[in-house]
Amino acid sequence: MSQPFATRYPLVFVPGMLGFVRMLLYPYWFGILKALRKGGATAIAVQVSPINATEVRGEQLLLIIERIRRETGADKVNLFGHSQGALTARYAAAKRPDWVASVTSVAGPNHGSELADYLESHYPHGTARGRLLKAVLHALAHLMGWLETGWRGPSLPIDVHASHLSLTCAGVARFNLQYPQGIPLTWGGQGEPLVNGVRYYSWSGVLQDRRSNEGGNRLDGTHVSCRLFAKTFVREAGYCDGMVGRYSSHLGQVIGDDYPMDHFDIVNQSLGLVGKGAEPVRLFTEQAARLKAAGL
């Protein structure tokens, strides 16, 4: 039997803010892990605090990696991080490069999110509007935790303000000073693909491609949300996925940054409703094949 995606090290998937493994019957990585496992990959979806600082999530991820190494016998793992999950994966790789073979950033805000900046200025911490937003997000995180059926473990801490600060452009700039591995030296460029033995990759999409508003996205409410969020962007107003800018997503080897997909399409949500011609699952299977070819 052919096993084109049977990488040397397990593939570990880290969700973004308000992420989950499986909510009731619905998986975060819709159709992706199934396709990878069919091709021989050991693909593991994990859960960290749905809303918290990147460093807190990163420490949680390190404990998970340690357990996966122990249970599988693998020396290292290949990390895939979506959105804030990319920053979380970067933190783990920077802290323990001996445990991580690669980091793949999928629509990661590696230079921050202009949406987070907008919320920072329009819903500031400590104001009535800020407290309302915090309450809504806090309640949503708890609700999603109750509906989580794909992950078992202790209750995970929630800190809305810390999470928000971790995602602003200023917050990520501070993070990058401490953990610069794979970050491009020039805006819009590519970063060093190999640092301390860890390979860094990234890809992302733009919803300004007219194809992203066709196909399944005509029925997808999250696509409408991303189009509304995109109106908050200034620096990358014409090139974003609704939550992360095209160039802000760059890390290490940039596989692509203009796929016709919004921030949710890129991980095949919702129920695979994506724009015309978009193939998010294929991006993951191709990356698994790429990692296998690199001996990872």
Q: Are 61 and 86 in contact (CB under 8 A)?
A: no
Whether pLDDT at 55 is above 80? yes
**62 closest CA partner among 50, 84, 46:** 46
Neighbouring CB atoms inside 10 A of 294's CB total 14
**CATH no. for residue 235?**
3.40.50.1820
Q: Is residue 150 part of a domain?
A: yes
Render pLDDT for 197-225 as a digit per residue (tens, 0 to 9): 999 999 999 999 899 999 999 989 999 99
Residue 171: inside a domain, yes or no? yes
Residue 146 has pLDDT above 80, yes or no: yes
The pLDDT value recorded for residue 1 is: 64
Q: What is the average pLDDT value for the chain, to the nearest integer?
A: 95
Question: How many percent of the chain have pLDDT more than 70?
Answer: 100
Is 5 part of a structural domain of the chain? Answer: no
Active site residues per annotation: 83, 241, 263
Over residues 242-268, the pLDDT tens digits come to 999 999 999 999 999 999 999 999 999
Instruction: Tell me, yes or no, whether 76 lies in a domain.
Output: yes
57-100: per-residue pLDDT in tens? 999 999 999 999 999 999 999 999 999 999 999 999 999 999 99
Q: In this structure, what token pair is assigned to residue 186?
A: 């020039």
Q: What is the DSSP letter of 83?
A: T
Q: Can you give the pLDDT at residue 133?
A: 85
Q: Which amino acid is at 13?
A: F
Indicate whether 119 pLDDT > 90: yes
CA 2 distance to own-chain centroid: 29
The count of structural domains within the chain is: 1
At 71, list the tokens.
Answer: 């249970």
Asked whether residue 65 is assigned to any structural domain, the reply reads yes
Q: How many CB atoms lie within 10 A of CB 249?
A: 30
Is 2 inside any structural domain? no
Contact 58, 91 (CB under 8 A): yes
Residue range(s) defining the domain that contains residue 197: 11-293
Structure tokens at 232: 């908050």
Q: Which is higher by pLDDT, 103 or 137?
A: 103
